């Protein structure tokens, strides 16, 4: 008897991102409906057929991770670029207006001094606004952190697909397949948390 790897996080991830995919796996594997429903399903089994079904779920979950990252990453990149532009313009306004305040004070033009002072204040506030814009729902995570983590997770998913293919095509290495499935299950949990903060 071998302990089957967990697939609960993968099933939940596919269910929430591509429900049609998990339904296809369920309909083509009616004997394994218990392991394909939401929630943990532990147990031991010698069935290589069960491990094959778990591997199918793993493939589908990894492909879902990759496609989800490919959809999410451009949006994050755009937000990062916009915040950088906003920050640059804020610094330019602050610099110009600071010089204007000094110049107008020297020439005694009070109205222009007030406008320049307001622009200077606005320029000083820009870094605070940019910091706010760079944070997602989770105020401790910056957009650039989320962006980099999603790239790492996408690369990990691609690597897991290669490893899974290798172990399946090389004498169906049960230990190798189980290890990749367990890693991928954890990856689905991690990416679900990360996507919630984007």
Tokens of 102: 């000094």
**CA-to-CA distance for 160 and 191, rounded, in angstroms?**
14
Q: What is the pLDDT of residues 39-73, one digit of tens each?
A: 765 555 667 789 999 999 999 999 999 999 999 99
Nearest alpha-carbon partner for 182 in 4, 45, 43, 27? 4
Q: Mean pLDDT of residues grouped by 10 in the chain (198 residues)?
A: 85 95 93 83 67 94 96 87 70 63 58 67 66 51 82 96 92 90 96 86
Q: Do 60 and 21 touch, CB atoms closer than 8 A? A: yes
Whole-number pLDDT of residue 182: 95
**CA-to-CA distance for 162 and 134, rounded, in angstroms?**
34
Task: Count up the domains in the chain and report the number.
Answer: 1
Whole-number pLDDT of residue 41: 58
Whole-number pLDDT of residue 133: 58
3-state DSSP call for residue 135?
Answer: strand
**CA-to-CA distance for 120 and 87, rounded, in angstroms?**
14
Whole-number pLDDT of residue 48: 77
Quote the longest CA-to-CA distance of the chain: 90
Task: Print the domain residue range for 91.
Answer: 2-39+48-196
Whole-number pLDDT of residue 55: 94
| Ordered alpha helix ranges (H), the chain | 8-17, 19-28, 48-107, 110-134, 143-169, 174-196
Residue 83: how many other CB atoms lie within 10 Å:
19
């Amino acid at each position: 008897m071998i302990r089957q790897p967990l697939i609960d996080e993968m099933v939940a991830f596919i269910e929430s991102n591509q429900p049609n995919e998990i339904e296809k796996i369920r309909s083509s594997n009616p004997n394994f409906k218990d392991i394909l429903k939401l929630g943990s399903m532990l147990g031991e089994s010698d069935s290589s057929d069960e491990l094959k079904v778990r591997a199918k779920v793993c493939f589908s979950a990894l492909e879902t991770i990759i496609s989800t990252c490919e959809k999410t990453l451009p949006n994050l990149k755009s937000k990062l670029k916009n915040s950088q532009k906003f920050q640059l313009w804020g610094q330019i306004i602050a610099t110009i207006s600071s010089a204007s305040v000094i110049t107008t004070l020297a020439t005694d033009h009070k109205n222009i001094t007030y406008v320049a002072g307001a622009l200077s204040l606005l320029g000083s506030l820009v870094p605070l606004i940019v910091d706010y814009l760079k944070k997602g729902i989770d105020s401790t995570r910056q957009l650039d952190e989320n962006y980099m983590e999603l790239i790492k997770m996408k690369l990990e998913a691609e690597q897991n697909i290669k490893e899974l293919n290798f172990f399946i095509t090389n004498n169906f290495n049960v230990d190798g397949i189980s290890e990749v499935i367990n890693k991928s299950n954890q990856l689905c949990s991690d990416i679900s948390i990360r996507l919630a903060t984007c």
